Structure 1
Amino acid sequence: MGDGKDSGKVLDISTADIKLTAPVFLTQGQNLSKALTTLVTALDGLGKPWGDDEQGKAFGDAYSPQQKAIEKAAGTLVLGLVSIHEAMADMADGHVDNDELIAGMFTKVLSKDGEGHDRGDK
């Protein structure tokens, strides 16, 4: 998969590659979730260390809304990584099922008279 050679195939999906890669997204999503939790906990534990003077208030007014936006964006990334893992796993399973279905359509079935017929023939 992705070896750079033109095999002439329109679609070449390696379910083994997909199944091998999918858990990476889950692991990285979990790692990002842990990092986000650590960041939020640490920042919340600090309170407002920039102080109450004019510069501190100006910083806090600019920083606080951005902090929440960053936390929300990181949370969205976590959900995205986990959903990519789930989608890749489903896609690999679906591809295998589809291949089996298509193979079954072209399998010869022996009739009672011993002759081979396509399953689609009547």
Structure 2
Amino acid sequence: MNHLWDVIDDRTSFRYEINRNHPAVLALGESMVSEESAMLGTLISLLEQSFPVDDVYNRLGQDAIHTPAGIDDAELHVLASSLWASLKNSLSPHVFVDSMLNSEPFNKNIRAREILEITVDGS
């Protein structure tokens, strides 16, 4: 499974880091020149350092329920098209589809395979 966030366990603590090997992060990096890629790395580090873990802990401790933003089929198709445009020169259609099916948010959509196959067939 290719999660966007990784949990890094140290001996007595933990932190969250963005998975720089997630296909979406790789696709974005591949579409950039080196200066832009460095800026992306800075932004990712900023996001990691400012992840509101204390707020999340407090809200969950008060029995608040997390409701993740859903992604509908149309949004998933737009995301698939964007990723395929960035990765089609480095991945075969089959490898792209399989890779995405094991990655968030595609792994949570029952129509993901169909959406991904339509995407690669339409290119």
TM-score by length of 1: 0.24
Structure with bigger gyration radius: 1
TM-score by length of 2: 0.24
